[in-house]
Structure 1
């Protein structure tokens, strides 16, 4: 029988290539959700987080990610998305729409901006108009969607699964 030794706070794995994934967040209602998203992004090797609205990280939740992430604040996300598209990012929204792709079957481009919507309103029509693709996470029970931080973590994990070395 295999024996396991508990290794707490193991050093992070080295990425062969820097991640070309960034997160762009619509104004979130909860700084707790934003802080959880930042922490997960840090664990995934994401180095850039774009926020709009009154974004403020809780350092107790975001922990070390607040030190490793480049956090940009903007008034509106639409001009940022236009700029990212000009920089050859594929803009992928995380939302339930009529033409969303199932996260389990979506193949991310290595250079992706994952666009996250507001907890209540999701991604607005003006943001959806800028996107190259929209992904959603299947739900098998109620409520009809995952919490924004939980859904973001699931999408981040899938990206990392597809690009484990960066």
Structure 2
């Protein structure tokens, strides 16, 4: 498994540099930038990056948000909210420690996604991501700045990048992203075929994405579920045609 760090629409170069430095501290090397600020080699980003100015920062790669969501198992980092099980945009969430535990041994290219300095990731962006991570903090002031949040999360995930002692037999071979996205597509077709109310489909699809994101299905499990939904969709379509 490779774990990339993605930063979406940061406005302050210094924050990108701070995140790059934390990546270097805790064994991460792949930095993905969505709509980044200009990173001047003589500016704040490189000044704040420490030794990460030598490799992490110059090798950072720009990427579109849609490509990020399509090609990686994604973990969106956001502030703690008051949402509960009736809502599926920022709930359920895991703490950084729980994310580390759930990703341990999973064979999937993963991206830990951080948002903007002031507003973080939008609900529309979070709806496209597979899991949600929140840092427990004081209810009086639970919001951390971008650099702090990234440092805490990456510290908790360090066992995934710095510990190489895990036995190969303990690894979980998660389905690749194309298979996972195909499973989401089959579920969407199934909802349409059974006549699930159109205005409720996006919510149902978010619930399903969160469920699958936590489950880390294997390739065989993903294929089996896709086959199930495909047959159910065909059956529902045929039944609808007979009713007409």
TM-score (norm 1): 0.75
What's the offset of the Cα at 1:79? 2.1
Residue 73 of structure 1 is aligned with which of 47, 62, 69? 62
2:126 is equivalent to residue 128 of structure 1: yes
What's the offset of the Cα at 1:162? 5.2
**Equivalent position SS for 1:78:** helix
What's the offset of the Cα at 1:126? 3.1
Greater relative contact order: 1 or 2 (C-alpha under 8 angstroms, separation 6 or more)?
1
Please state which structure has a larger fraction of its residues in helix: 2
Instruction: Tell me the distance in 2 between the aligned counterparts of 1:59 and 1:153.
Output: 17
Residue 93 of structure 1 is aligned with which of 73, 76, 83? 76
Alignment coverage as a number of residue pairs: 142
What's the offset of the Cα at 1:143? 2.7
Residue 47 of structure 1 is aligned with which of 16, 29, 32? 29
What's the offset of the Cα at 1:65? 0.6
Q: Which has the larger radius of gyration?
A: 2
Structure 2: any 5+ residue segments left out of the alignment? 80-89, 165-244
What's the offset of the Cα at 1:163? 5.0
2:9 is equivalent to residue 27 of structure 1: yes
Instruction: Tell me the distance in 2 between the aligned counterparts of 1:102 and 1:121.
Output: 20
8 A contact 2:3–2:111 mirrored in 1: yes
- Distance verdict in 2 for CA 1:30–1:108, change over 3 Å: farther
C-alpha deviations, 1:31-55, integer Å up to 9, x for none?
Answer: 1111100111112221110012233
Aligned residue in 2 for 1:113 = 111
TM-score (norm 2): 0.53
Measured on the aligned residues, the alpha-carbon RMSD in Å equals 2.1
What's the offset of the Cα at 1:141? 5.4
- Distance verdict in 2 for CA 1:157–1:80, change over 3 Å: same
Instruction: Tell me the distance in 2 between the aligned counterparts of 1:42 and 1:159.
Output: 13
**Equivalent position SS for 2:129:** coil
